[in-house]
Amino acid sequence: MSTPETQPAANFIRHIIAKDLAENKHQGRVATRFPPEPNGYLHIGHAKSICLNFGLALENQGTCNLRFDDTNPEKESIEYMESIERDVSWIGFTWHELRHASDYFEQLYDFAVDLIKQGKAYVDSSTPEQIREYRGTLTKPGIPSPDRERSIEENLDLFTRMRNGDFADGQYVLRAKIDMASSNMNMRDPTIYRIRRVHHHRTGDKWCIYPMYDYTHCISDALEAITHSICTLEFEDHRPLYDWVLDQIEVPCHPQQIEFARLQLEYTIVSKRKLNQLVTEKHVHGWDDPRMPTIAGLRRAGVTPAAIRDFCERIGVTKKDSWIEMAVLENSIREDLNEHSARVMAVLDPLRVVIENYPDDQVEQLEVGNHPQRPELGTRKIPFSKVLLIEQEDFAETPPPKYKRLTTGEEVRLRGAYVIRCNEVIKDADGKIIELRCSYDPDTLGKNPEGRKVKGVIHWVSETHSLPAEVRLYDRLFCRPNPDMEANFLDALNPNSLQILSQSRVEASLKDAPVESRYQFERMGYFCVDKDSSPDQLVFNRTVTLRDTWDS
Ligand code: ATP
Ligand code: MG
């Protein structure tokens, strides 16, 4: 377990920014952005980038924009945009401005015309196959396209007509004219515009040409006067292109691109494409399935925004790829829930207990604390009556050694209530245990019994006072640590990632528990009210188990 941090830990990006501020590099400004493509829901990997970009802005009295990088209309949608806004806000950040790359389509077009006029871009009629072939390889320089020396006039005319819709999809592309022999493949005349007749969720059918990512991204950053453009390592090789584009045109500032290692988390997947596949092929019940590493899934599982921020701070920021253990995320989740969630009692798999020496119609309201370490969270009353329910697994007819729960002839304490002894086991015709006949010691409420030690404590609810609930026990979605590295990641899916218990009973205080409220079910784990919950049928999701101990 890492030590609690009061100060944000140093990392190389914080160093760069501190140095830039000291040198007054960007007029003392810090402006970052989080630039998702709205082609899926955000996942825990994005959370790392969100915490980094928004966090750096906050720490330095700077600004952070949320920018939709929406240049691929065929895969993008309003639903995804809305989910991204919701998730960023939920994680706890407020953007300075909400922008879209599509806000800049007109300017991007003008800059492209400008490049053509400078002789730095040309319209190419080569097919994608030819472009690939002419580009060469890492060991072989590229060769120029026959269209590379087309005149500026002709390029301007063709590009205008590309925009006007005079050509078929794919008939021409606009390419930057850089260096076909560059050792960096990204510099071998990259395509910057393509013809694509697709409806765009924001610009409708206004455009039939769309700018490419590398061209769009740097200009969008510059137009927003971003100072530090933070991205993941795979863009390191694209940085020369980022800088080249901005060096050719008149823009308000030249942001500096800084790359960091993306989050790779064991036992899950952080690729929108594969997460999309899990959803569309119905391996999970939607993007917000509690097993998904999406922000929406984590939220539905009961994870708090604070736990996500804590996790992102703990894993740090480096330039080296590495895998983070799932336990690191689970520990952040547990620590936060342990501190903040109220304790309640719920019996997931009930077994009936009849207290034979308890008066038939008596009900006592026993006062129990809501949090063992935080008395300020108060107490509540829970009803104790003649017929109770305990967990099936808390009784064993033939107990293993050192068993500290209930067994025939022995005593156990009911949490917050009395010590009971099991006198008799009732079974059905098949030999299944259906009821325990017990007796209670009335002199054990809030105090130890005289002259004997009772070690075990188990949880319980009153049969008539408790409420029915469905409890969904979620587990890791994959049963092997690196599903991404398997030939087919679906082979690593955990077949037991969801177990539904429909006979559970929870204490009556949960009657009006709102959706997303979080609890520790004593001895059973952390649970959260699901959106499927209704007053007649409460539904709880298991967020995470407690540590591996029987006794709490
Ligand atoms: P995916 O492969 O899941 O689609 P992406 O990088 O294509 O991821 P974007 O929507 O382009 O997704 O990402 C928005 C921002 O989030 C980018 O700056 C990207 O670098 C960052 N990001 C995405 N995945 C991770 C990750 N696993 N760790 C850290 N940052 C990430
Ligand atoms: Mg992407």
Q: Cα dihedral sign for 519, 524, 526, 529?
A: negative
User: Domain residue spans in the chain?
Assistant: 12-101+215-329, 105-214, 350-459, 467-544
Query: Which CATH code of 2.60.40.4070, 3.90.800.10, 3.40.47.10, 1.10.238.10 fits the domain covering 105-214?
Result: 3.90.800.10
Question: Which of 64, 232, 275 for a ligand 1 pocket mutation test, highest count of atoms within 8 Å of Cβ?
Answer: 232
**CA 326 / ligand 1 centre spacing (Å):** 19
Query: Is residue 535 scored above 60 in pLDDT?
Result: yes
**CA 236 / ligand 1 centre spacing (Å):** 14
pLDDT single digits (tens) 92-111? 999 999 999 999 999 999 99
Q: Judge whether 350-459 and 467-544 match in fold.
A: yes
Say which ligand is closest to the CA of 238. 1
Cα separation, 549 vs 552, whole angstroms? 7
Length of the chain, in residues: 552
**CA 199 / ligand 1 centre spacing (Å):** 24
Contact in structure between 141 and 187 (CB atoms under 8 Å): no
Q: Which residue, judged by its Cα, is nearest atom 22 of ligand 1? A: 46
**CA 9 / ligand 1 centre spacing (Å):** 23
Q: Would you state the pLDDT for residue 6?
A: 52
Question: Which of 33, 41, 49, 53 for a ligand 1 pocket mutation test, highest count of atoms within 8 Å of Cβ?
Answer: 49
Q: For this structure, is 177 an active site residue?
A: no
CATH fourth-level superfamily of 12-101+215-329: HUPs (3.40.50.620)
Say which ligand is closest to the CA of 80. 1
Query: For all residues of the chain together, what is the average pLDDT?
Result: 95
The amino acid that residue 135 corresponds to is R
Cα angle vertex 457, ends 514, 382, to 5°?
40
Element (H, E) at 421: strand 419-427
Q: Would you state the pLDDT for residue 4?
A: 44
Percent of the chain with pLDDT over 90: 94
Q: Which residue, judged by its Cα, is nearest atom 2 of ligand 1? A: 271
Using a 6 Å CB cutoff, which residues line ligand 1?
35-37, 45-46, 48-49, 231-232, 262-263, 270-272
Question: Which of 34, 262, 275, 324 for a ligand 1 pocket mutation test, highest count of atoms within 8 Å of Cβ?
Answer: 262
Question: Which of 34, 39, 46 for a ligand 1 pocket mutation test, highest count of atoms within 8 Å of Cβ?
Answer: 46
Q: Which atom of ligand 1 is nearest to the CA of 275?
A: 3
pLDDT band, residue 450 (cuts 50/70/90): confident
Q: For this structure, is 381 an active site residue?
A: no
Say which ligand is closest to the CA of 226. 1
Q: Which residues contact 362 (CB under 8 A, 6 or more apart)?
A: 385, 386
**CA 549 / ligand 2 centre spacing (Å):** 42
**CA 178 / ligand 2 centre spacing (Å):** 24
Say which ligand is closest to the CA of 262. 1
The mean pLDDT value for 467-489 works out to 95
Rounded (10°) angle between helices 213-223 and 239-248: 60
Q: Which residue, judged by its Cα, is nearest atom 29 of ligand 1? A: 262
Cα separation, 472 vs 498, whole angstroms? 7
Q: Would you state the pLDDT for residue 7?
A: 66
Task: Give the domain 350-459 fold.
Answer: Ribosomal Protein L25; Chain P (2.40.240)
The mean pLDDT value for 419-443 works out to 97
Strand, coil or helix: 496: coil
Query: Is residue 280 scored above 90 in pLDDT?
Result: yes
Active-site residue (options: 29, 99, 150, 272): 272
Active-site residue (options: 25, 196, 202, 262): 262
Q: Which atom of ligand 1 is nearest to the CA of 264?
A: 27
Q: Would you state the pLDDT for residue 536?
A: 86
| Structure letter (DSSP) for residue 310 | H
Q: Would you state the pLDDT for residue 548?
A: 39
Say which ligand is closest to the CA of 235. 1
Q: For this structure, is 427 an active site residue?
A: no
The mean pLDDT value for 387-401 works out to 95
Q: Would you state the pLDDT for residue 547?
A: 79
> In three state form, how does the secondary structure of 311-378 look?
HHHHHCCCCCCCEECHHHHHHHHHHHHHHHCEEECEECCEEEEEECCCCCCCCEEEEEECCCCCHHHC
**CA 264 / ligand 2 centre spacing (Å):** 15
**CA 199 / ligand 2 centre spacing (Å):** 20
pLDDT single digits (tens) 112-165? 999 999 999 999 999 999 999 999 999 999 999 999 999 999 999 999 999 999
pLDDT band, residue 175 (cuts 50/70/90): very high
Q: Would you state the pLDDT for residue 551?
A: 31
Cα separation, 279 vs 274, whole angstroms? 9
Higher pLDDT, 6 or 307: 307
pLDDT single digits (tens) 319-361? 998 899 999 999 999 999 999 999 999 999 999 999 999 999 9
| CATH assignment, 467-544 | 2.40.240.10
Active-site residue (options: 25, 37, 410, 476): 37
pLDDT single digits (tens) 2-37? 444 456 788 999 999 999 999 999 999 999 999 999
